[in-house]
A = this chain, B = another copy of it.
């Protein structure tokens, strides 16, 4: 009995109260103020069950992420979404997912256009293809569709809602861990591994953090930088890298297992290794002792949180907070089974 109570107290009908509460006009300034005052006084909280029951329209949320089938990392992200799917539906949300390919910008653009046309009430976005992404986000801003980024931030969109890890800090952490576990002298190697060996935003951030730690802690470790191209012969590239006296390595991507396998092949138990992401290849080599630590960016949790924000937004009227940095999870043999 709430809108009814306001109506009663104000001496008007519930229709009028509803119109004021939703700013649908057609109410005199006088009654409007009276109603607003009463609503404030009795601390009116709309009953969201009744509300979502009454309005037939469902809020739709578009989810634009890389195809889970293509990549284990994104599969984990999708798992996070999936786990909330039925709950989201029960809360009156409709989820529409668009899976793009990491190496097919056209498909991304196609989906972007489609999304703009279909005008969803919210958008969850994993921003690869930076330029296309920027365009899409600008379009969304124009028609004021709220968007949540996750996994990666997009330079130039600092005001946007974001859920992910602090990449710079991840780099710092990696350096600290390597310092802790590396007993013998020798330099630190920093591997950027990608198919066309180009540094993406996250790699750069991790590198900066890594070096920042070593400098500010007056480490006497030398840092050797290597860009590895997976389309070239790996062994040759890694052999060349290990010409140097390397005591420990950081791999800035989920391709950590490539270095681990190399160390295993060359039986280099004396080299410490730290990398990113809990994909199965990495897990296997962490178990085997060829990787010492993995930093888990937890795409599943990131994606789940993103969708959950929209649920809270549409179903509970909560505001979408801007940035949320998830804890940087350190995974090693001893806590692997617990994740």
This chain: copies in complex: 2
- Which of B52, B173, B183 lies in contact with A335, CB distance below 8 A? B173
Within 8 A of B (CB), among A52-92: 52-53, 86-87, 90, 92
Distance (Å) between the CB of A55 and the closest chain B CB?
11
Instruction: Find out whether the CB atom of A173 lies under 8 angstroms from the CB atom of B53.
Output: no
Instruction: Find out whether the CB atom of B90 lies under 8 angstroms from the CB atom of A173.
Output: no
The CA-CA distance from A292 to B328 in the complex, in Å, is: 16
- With a cutoff of 8 Å between Cβ atoms, the chain B residues found around residue A181 in the complex are 180-181
Stretch at the interface among A26-34, A43-51, A93-101, A111-119: A43-51
Instruction: Find out whether the CB atom of B334 lies under 8 angstroms from the CB atom of A213.
Output: yes
Instruction: Find out whether the CB atom of A334 lies under 8 angstroms from the CB atom of B53.
Output: no
Instruction: Find out whether the CB atom of B316 lies under 8 angstroms from the CB atom of A90.
Output: yes
Q: Which secondary structure dominates where chain A touches chain B? A: helix
Instruction: Find out whether the CB atom of B180 lies under 8 angstroms from the CB atom of A292.
Output: yes
- With a cutoff of 8 Å between Cβ atoms, the chain B residues found around residue A213 in the complex are 334
- Which of B48, B86, B332 lies in contact with A173, CB distance below 8 A? B332
Instruction: Find out whether the CB atom of B330 lies under 8 angstroms from the CB atom of A327.
Output: no
- With a cutoff of 8 Å between Cβ atoms, the chain B residues found around residue A52 in the complex are 49
- With a cutoff of 8 Å between Cβ atoms, the chain B residues found around residue A292 in the complex are 180
Distance (Å) between the CB of A150 and the closest chain B CB?
16
- With a cutoff of 8 Å between Cβ atoms, the chain B residues found around residue A334 in the complex are 169, 172-177, 213, 328
Within 8 A of B (CB), among A148-178: 165-166, 169, 172-177
Q: Is A329 an interface residue (CB 8 A)?
A: yes
Distance (Å) between the CB of A169 and the closest chain B CB?
6
Q: Is A129 an interface residue (CB 8 A)?
A: no
Across the two chains, which residue of chain B brings its CB closest to A175? B334
The CA-CA distance from A316 to B316 in the complex, in Å, is: 15
The CA-CA distance from A332 to B335 in the complex, in Å, is: 15
The CA-CA distance from A92 to B166 in the complex, in Å, is: 37
Q: Is A5 an interface residue (CB 8 A)?
A: no
Q: Is A9 an interface residue (CB 8 A)?
A: no
- With a cutoff of 8 Å between Cβ atoms, the chain B residues found around residue A90 in the complex are 45, 48, 316
- Which of B165, B166, B339 lies in contact with A327, CB distance below 8 A? B339
Q: Is A243 an interface residue (CB 8 A)?
A: no
Instruction: Find out whether the CB atom of B325 lies under 8 angstroms from the CB atom of A338.
Output: yes
Instruction: Find out whether the CB atom of A338 lies under 8 angstroms from the CB atom of B47.
Output: no
Q: Is A40 an interface residue (CB 8 A)?
A: no
Other than the given A180-B332, A328-B335, 4 more pairs (CB < 8 A) read A48-B90, A166-B337, A176-B334, A329-B335
Chain A contacts to B: CB under 8 angstroms: 45, 47-50, 52-53, 86-87, 90, 92, 165-166, 169, 172-177, 180-181, 183, 213, 292, 312, 316, 325-330, 332-335, 337-339
